[in-house]
Amino acid sequence: MMNTLEKLIEKIEQILSEHGIYVKIKQDSKLIQEYPIDSIIAIEILINVEETFGIDIDDDELSLELLDTPTVLSEYIERKLTNK
């Protein structure tokens, strides 16, 4: 069974590939800086995270900092799941 980080990386790679961006992402990859992720793709990633992990990202928590690295986003997801 995949852990949160592995599942997240797989989802991000899948979304990027749907936009013609074929990359292998590492847990410490700087997503916004290293890859051509525009606002549409960023929103798509965050919506997919909500659906995949069954969490709600609150408006006041919504920021590009969440997409800094897969590790940062994975830790956020884990916190949301723990506080559910």
What domains are defined for the chain?
4-82 (1.10.1200.10)
Beta-carbon neighbour count of residue 50 at 10 Å? 14
What is the Cα–Cα distance from 75 to 33, expressed in whole angstroms? 19
What is the Cα–Cα distance from 30 to 82, expressed in whole angstroms? 25
pLDDT for 2: 81
pLDDT for 51: 97
Instruction: Give 15-72 pLDDT, tens digit per residue.
Output: 999 999 999 999 999 999 999 999 999 999 999 999 999 999 999 998 889 999 999 9
